[in-house]
A and B are shown apart, each in its own frame.
Chain A
């Protein structure tokens, strides 16, 4: 069992949980994830490891309530426990060694971005984080990112920071020059827009793909994505890939496979007005 040590509500549907997982805390690398199963009968859910504390033996997970299983996880309180946490899984982030990196986060993707920003910052890379949400209450982790570098915050409705999409802020940075790498994590349409934007600038761009998976070890093949015309498994070959080679259309489509089930499951849970993934 993995007890919940801390819980924080980051936005209306994103929760930060610190849980006990000493072994994973010790060996995990940025970009890696865990598979979490709340208890008997629950689904296996992949979640990026946002942070770790080796001494305390804890890892930090950021969870966005989308379907029944994620909603149940976000409802966990301090003192509750998660039965199964398996990992760390996936390949670690290929980090820029020096220079200027722009890290673009949308929605809960910002949480996935945090460990990458931290690792880059610790390696001496100048980081500019560009984070967004549809309005102020959906912007997360601004304070943490500010401690690690520059931050540009955007909201779709202008209620906070810059009015507009993260891609507009990214374009200004690219036009200003000196950007060596871009890391973009968020909803598929956002990642696709970032990939299209950076391509003509010739800037290496990495995205993290949240494909549907069961085991996380390469066994089910459910997370297959097409990269440069080749089938790859997001769980072992990724989750991070060269943005300019990803078939985003196929990924977006495969992510809709269980949408009708998700709605039914939510209805069963009796959850009301849970927000759809921002896209």
Chain B
């Protein structure tokens, strides 16, 4: 590698790099790098990205920390089975284009996963280095390589697969749908993705905020897939604009990845007062409709004191959004304790840095309002933890007589989502379970032959990366189905990561 072909982005100099470690012992001595962040008090008032990304120097230093295990556990820990040591080796050897090519061949949306994956419970949790300190910062390196790739697409080889003449329709352009689209397109199939909204990306666009996942990054990932041949049809609501039977006639196979989009409310008195949002509505207004920008035509209520009910990633996104929209006081109201918070550790840590308050072991019982029906408070009760419930977590129980009020002018309900019957209701042949989720077999095929499904509409609300894992596995199964090789050969399914069940709880 010569200096002129330096992979350093933004004109950064390749200088200042320490000498290459000569042995694994020297590699083990290198400390894990820290992600450069916007300071907490500053970023709590803007929508700019919190994590700034590694510099070239930091990325090269971190890449040296990987000891290139012959049997890498990290790959097994990844729901889409990225060959992590391979791309890191290319990076540390200065072959960033090859690193990017390697990463993109395993992962259709690396700029996304490099930002929002819970690496600490996946690849990084099983990294061999955890035993003697900190794991390799796999997520940071993934983001570094993926961001480079997004800016240097013309330096990457163009895949030009022979057309199979088979058409696949994908319903939903979230992480599962886009991943399946990318994989199927690489195999030479003619892929069309249907999206109900006016912009592609699903939860990546409407749900995850700008400060965690910039929308132009998502759009660029989608644009790359489009440049590879994926077609996207916006404003198409399957179950209304088109029905499943209609699509089944037009396409040789379908992949249903519509997510779990229906909000769950608390079912307490006062929930329909003005100033109570579902997290879906709050985040959709801010993210998809751009209401964080004062010039946006879509309005959003700016609470001064905001209570967010729930303890997951969506609750953290909502409460951090509230701070950025000007809330002096933004509080998480969670019915279990800090130990049970389902949100990623990084999100909780970021929220705390940004001045978010936490009320643990507290459950809402009523929304209070003034005479004009504007929210004035959230009546709550204190909880204590009892015996473990079906989820294995200790069941919260009310402490009698412990009611108190959290004064607030906005309440955001982020206690989960459920299946939307709009699509499943349009095709009675599709078998759903008691909660309305689609029933799919080990290959992701539903009760309708040739119709596959994955992501939250099958597994219930989970993470971006698990949905992407479904998209990737279903794409392989769909390819077998289209090639008449059914059921797929055993190895196609054997790649299912063992860690999945544990990760799903996150």
Q: Which of A102-110, A195-203, A210-218 makes up part of the contact surface?
A: A210-218
Q: Is the CB of A87 within 8 A of B263?
A: no
Q: Given contacts A86-B198, A231-B265, A261-B299, could you give 6 more A-B pairs where the C-beta distance is less than 8 Å?
A: A43-B289, A214-B285, A220-B278, A221-B262, A221-B278, A236-B422
Interface assignment of B420: CB less than 8 Å from any CB of chain A: yes
Would you mind naming 15 contact pairs between A and B with Cβ atoms under 8 Å apart? A23-B242, A27-B241, A69-B297, A83-B198, A84-B235, A87-B237, A87-B240, A215-B196, A215-B284, A217-B237, A217-B240, A218-B261, A218-B420, A222-B277, A256-B274
What is the interface of chain B, defined by CB distance below 8 A to chain A? 196-198, 234-237, 240-242, 261-263, 265, 271-272, 274, 277-278, 280-281, 284-285, 289-290, 295-299, 301, 372-373, 420-422
Q: Is the CB of B262 within 8 A of A218?
A: yes
Q: Is the CB of A87 within 8 A of B241?
A: yes
Q: Is the CB of A215 within 8 A of B240?
A: no
A146 CB to closest chain B CB, in angstroms?
33
B451 CB to closest chain A CB, in angstroms?
20
Which B residue's beta carbon lies closest to that of A269?
A: B297
Q: Is the CB of B278 within 8 A of A41?
A: no
Which B residue's beta carbon lies closest to that of A250?
A: B272
In Å, the complex CA distance between A84 and B198 comes to: 6
User: Taking A217-B196, A226-B272 as contacts, is the C-beta distance between A23 and B241 under 8 angstroms?
Assistant: yes
Interface assignment of A191: CB less than 8 Å from any CB of chain B: no
Interface assignment of A162: CB less than 8 Å from any CB of chain B: no
Interface assignment of A224: CB less than 8 Å from any CB of chain B: yes
Q: Is the CB of B241 within 8 A of A24?
A: yes
A50 CB to closest chain B CB, in angstroms?
18
Q: Is the CB of B295 within 8 A of A218?
A: no
B372: chain A residues within 8 A (beta carbon): 253
Q: Is the CB of B296 within 8 A of A41?
A: yes
B421: chain A residues within 8 A (beta carbon): 218
Q: Is the CB of B297 within 8 A of A265?
A: yes
B224 CB to closest chain A CB, in angstroms?
21
Interface assignment of A42: CB less than 8 Å from any CB of chain B: yes
B295: chain A residues within 8 A (beta carbon): 41
B262: chain A residues within 8 A (beta carbon): 218-219, 221
Q: Is the CB of B289 within 8 A of A221?
A: no
A222: chain B residues within 8 A (beta carbon): 277-278, 281
In Å, the complex CA distance between A254 and B296 comes to: 21
Which A residue's beta carbon lies closest to that of B288?
A: A214
Q: Is the CB of B265 within 8 A of A220?
A: no
User: Taking A217-B422, A218-B262, A221-B263 as contacts, is the C-beta distance between A231 and B272 under 8 angstroms?
Assistant: yes
Most buried by A among B278, B290, B421: B278
Q: A13-54: contact bitstring with B at CB < 8 Å (1 yes, 0 no)?
A: 000000000011001000000000100011110000000000
Most buried by A among B196, B240, B241, B284: B240
Interface assignment of A187: CB less than 8 Å from any CB of chain B: no
User: Taking A44-B198, A86-B196 as contacts, is the C-beta distance between A214 and B281 under 8 angstroms?
Assistant: yes
Interface assignment of A239: CB less than 8 Å from any CB of chain B: no
In Å, the complex CA distance between A221 and B315 comes to: 16
Q: Is the CB of B240 within 8 A of A89?
A: yes
Q: Is the CB of B290 within 8 A of A41?
A: yes
Interface assignment of A238: CB less than 8 Å from any CB of chain B: no
Prevailing SS type, chain B contact patch: loop
Q: Is the CB of A257 within 8 A of B274?
A: yes
CB-based closest 10 A-B pairs:
A261-B299, A220-B281, A86-B235, A221-B278, A84-B198, A219-B261, A221-B263, A258-B299, A43-B297, A222-B281
Among the listed A217, A224, A256, which residue makes an inter-chain contact with B272, where contact means beta carbons less than 8 Å apart? A224
Q: Is the CB of A86 within 8 A of B422?
A: no
Interface assignment of A120: CB less than 8 Å from any CB of chain B: no
A240 CB to closest chain B CB, in angstroms?
16
Interface assignment of A244: CB less than 8 Å from any CB of chain B: no
In Å, the complex CA distance between A256 and B197 comes to: 25
Q: Is the CB of A257 within 8 A of B234?
A: no
In Å, the complex CA distance between A262 and B197 comes to: 23
In Å, the complex CA distance between A219 and B290 comes to: 17
Which A residue's beta carbon lies closest to that of B274?
A: A257
Q: Is the CB of B297 within 8 A of A42?
A: yes
A226: chain B residues within 8 A (beta carbon): 272
A192: chain B residues within 8 A (beta carbon): none
Which B residue's beta carbon lies closest to that of A222?
A: B281
B295 CB to closest chain A CB, in angstroms?
7
In Å, the complex CA distance between A24 and B241 comes to: 7
B420: chain A residues within 8 A (beta carbon): 217-219
Interface assignment of A134: CB less than 8 Å from any CB of chain B: no
B289: chain A residues within 8 A (beta carbon): 43-44, 214
Q: Is the CB of B235 within 8 A of A85?
A: yes
B178 CB to closest chain A CB, in angstroms?
18
A24 CB to closest chain B CB, in angstroms?
7
Interface assignment of A186: CB less than 8 Å from any CB of chain B: no
Q: Is the CB of A221 within 8 A of B265?
A: yes
Which A residue's beta carbon lies closest to that of B236?
A: A86
In Å, the complex CA distance between A215 and B240 comes to: 13
Interface assignment of A68: CB less than 8 Å from any CB of chain B: yes
In Å, the complex CA distance between A249 and B197 comes to: 31
B89 CB to closest chain A CB, in angstroms?
43
A3 CB to closest chain B CB, in angstroms?
15
B206 CB to closest chain A CB, in angstroms?
8
Interface assignment of A88: CB less than 8 Å from any CB of chain B: yes
A86: chain B residues within 8 A (beta carbon): 196-198, 235-237, 241
Q: Is the CB of A214 within 8 A of B284?
A: yes
User: Taking A43-B289, A86-B196, A226-B272 as contacts, is the C-beta distance between A220 and B280 under 8 angstroms?
Assistant: yes
User: Taking A37-B198, A88-B240, A217-B422 as contacts, is the C-beta distance between A68 and B284 under 8 angstroms?
Assistant: no
A89: chain B residues within 8 A (beta carbon): 237, 240
Which B residue's beta carbon lies closest to that of A219?
A: B261
Which B residue's beta carbon lies closest to that of A247?
A: B272
Which A residue's beta carbon lies closest to that of B264?
A: A221
Which A residue's beta carbon lies closest to that of B425?
A: A236
B236: chain A residues within 8 A (beta carbon): 86
In Å, the complex CA distance between A37 and B234 comes to: 12
B197: chain A residues within 8 A (beta carbon): 86, 215
In Å, the complex CA distance between A27 and B242 comes to: 8
In Å, the complex CA distance between A27 and B152 comes to: 44
In Å, the complex CA distance between A89 and B237 comes to: 9
Which B residue's beta carbon lies closest to that of A38?
A: B297
In Å, the complex CA distance between A218 and B345 comes to: 31
